Amino acid sequence: MKFSYFKKWIAFILLISVLPVVMIGIFSYYKSSGDIQDKVNEGNRQNLLQTESRVEQILRALEYSVTQYGNSPQVTSALQQSLTIDDFQTINSLSKGLNSLQFYFGIRNVYLINLDKNWVVGSEGFNSFTDQSYHDLFMKYAQSSNGLSWVTASGEGTNTSNSSHTSNTEGLITLVSKLPFNNTSKNPPGMIVIQISNAELNQFLLNNSQLGEVFVLDRNNHVMLGDHTGAGVDKKSVEAMWDQTSSDPAYVEHGELATTIHGERFWVNYQKSPYNGWTYLTIQSIHQITKDSRSIGWFTLATCLFILVVILLVAYFGTRRMYSPIQRLVDFTKNAAGVQARPTGNQDELSFVRDRIAALLDSGNEMENRMLHDLSQLREFFMIKMLRGQMSDKELTDKLTRFDFPSGWKKLAILTLQIDTLEGTRFEERDRDLLLFAISNMVGEIIPSPQRFSPIMLDESQLTLLATDAETNEDCRKFAYATAEQIKESIASLLQVTVSIGISRPFEKLTLANKAYEEGLSALKYRLKLGSGIILDMDSIHPDGGGAEFAYAKSLEQELIIAVKEGHDLLADKRLHEFMQHLRSRNLPFDEYQMIMTQLLSALTRLVYEWNSSLIAVFGSDSSILEAFYKLHTAEDTERWLSQSVIHPLIRFQNNRNESQYNNITEMVIRFIQEEYDTDLSLEACAARINFHPVYVSRVFKKETGVSFSDYLAQHRLTVAKRLLAETDMKVSEIAEKLSYSNSATFIRYFSKVEGMTPGQYRKELQTADHT
């Protein structure tokens, strides 16, 4: 065996020691040189794309935030007001919105400007717009034909001259958004102006000395970002080079090219952004790129020579001693693997060692992967066994610490969650398991780890074992109910899916978890009586009629919600009194009473989100309504608080919404009549243009004006007809045709009916009065 390996190794080493090494060296040189060029180009392209993405991500996010803020009710309302320093609440609200925009990286100044009312709210506070040093500059911004534009120091995006603009905005990039949104008028009511520091944006440029320097040019080919000198070029040279390149007829918006700057050759990769027309460049010296190739050539030659010498020496001196360590390795491997047989067949010693080491490594990796693979699965398996009553007290105690579950708790409770139905949602039945998995992840995020065990799915249910430090069962029930309500509202908000949650009785030993799980399932069975989308506490369910009490309270709750939606304050108070009277007359247990009241509060506050508003907009505060409710002591206090602090603010808010909507609809319809009375105008056409149903528009119009649409249109046409009779010599038939009457007879008949005389008689009477 030794002689065989010795001859084979000597022959093989001599065979590959000369020609292959030389060929590989030559090939490696040319291949690596080409690869360097390709990798540099590819690296520059990726560098450009990443830089463009990073910069534009910031700009787009800022545009989105500005649009959201500019379209917010507080800004829309403020644009209609002539604010003074006394309107500190409104100014404070606007300033908070502006301050939220300044959280974005690199923002220097933010201004909200009302051009019509001559005020500005910005980083310096509230001031008169015309008194500010930037007044003339911002007025030039308003002359732009774009509703939203980015303005650079070169004046790009405005009608200003380069010199006048640069003096005030050197080193800044400005976002100008006219208000209202998408307003392209040159005299907008207002503007939002945000100034961003070029120096801050420079930090988003991915400069790499191996990949060249990055420059960003605006549409006027002026360097905005990346005034670097590492590439051997300055800002002016880059601008001059790019002016010449972009004016070439063969120019395309992305690619690469070689150019000469100050007598030195450079390689340029470029990309023009379709988003804002800015051009992103990387510039690298060709000499620097080829320098690495030359170094590789010399290194390859030296390496090849060294390898030849080493191979010849090793071939002679090393082969004789090479077999001894191989044999020791074979012996060691056989002992480690527990194998006594020697290599068989065509398998030599080296193949045997390789196979045994590979087997050992595979075994070790497999064991490690099994131990580390998804610890959460082990926790879920533990939870399933515990909930099915398959673990003893000793097993539970041993594994609690191993799986890092909560410790030190005093009371436990289980939340059993089930999806009521998927009808009317965007999901199908086949998505149920996936939804339960998503809900389980949501629960894990909503409830802190010290207050829960691992949420799991079991038998079409999502289960959460809560751990609390509550001293009493009542405190534990309150915590469980509040947590269930939070979970239920989060699911409704994010997934738009209706779920019900069953709450077990509080318990202290984990061995009772199986019984608690069954209690949660039993509680959920009462959905058949009580309806869907509810939270059921096992201690609050009374099989002897409690379900009927819930159902009747639910019916009264729905009537109250309808009264609030319709804006009837007296009817809402009446329904609230009936609701409270019903609860008082039934002498319900406190926890059952609290559950019903909490569901009522949840239904009322849900209206705020249905109306796309917020708690602070409706109630003047975003503090928890449930916390205020828990502080009440008597039913009378509760009814008074509900009426004054919850229901009436909701009704006022809804009525204000309706009134604002009514005014807008009526104003638009009247404008249509005044501008298009001489066309075949109809109620249906007006309703379609403002995206409302004709019946609704008719009802609102009559409520606001006191007359129907057709009567108002006829009266306006009559007024125009009287003016034309008095001021022009138009014939009656021509007036009838201009006013879109089907024929002059119809016009004369209507005119005579209203005025008591024909149009001709009306004109003669006016002429007679003029002569006298």
Go through the domains of the chain in sequence order and give each one's CATH number. Answer: 1-196+293-340 (no CATH), 203-290 (3.30.450.20), 374-539 (3.30.70.270), 661-771 (1.10.10.60)
Residue 694 contacts by C-beta under 8 Å, 6 or more apart in sequence?
683, 684, 687
Number of Cα atoms under 13 Å in the Cβ half of residue 120: 23
First-last CA distance in the chain? 143
pTM of structure = 0.38
pLDDT at 438: 92
What are the pLDDT digits (tens) for 31-65? 777 777 777 778 778 878 888 888 888 888 888 88
φ and ψ at 192, to 5 degrees?
A: -115, 125
pLDDT at 538: 78
How many CB atoms are closer than 10 A to CB 136? Answer: 12
Distance CA 239, CA 245 (A): 10
The amino acid at residue 737 is E
pLDDT at 364: 61
Residues of the chain with pLDDT under 50: 1-3, 160-164, 166, 337, 339, 341, 372, 528-529, 543-548
Closest CA to 99 of 80, 121, 118: 121
pLDDT at 160: 47
- Burial of residue 433, with CB atoms counted within 10 A of its CB: 0-12 exposed, 13-18 middle, 19 or more buried: exposed
- Burial of residue 272, with CB atoms counted within 10 A of its CB: 0-12 exposed, 13-18 middle, 19 or more buried: buried
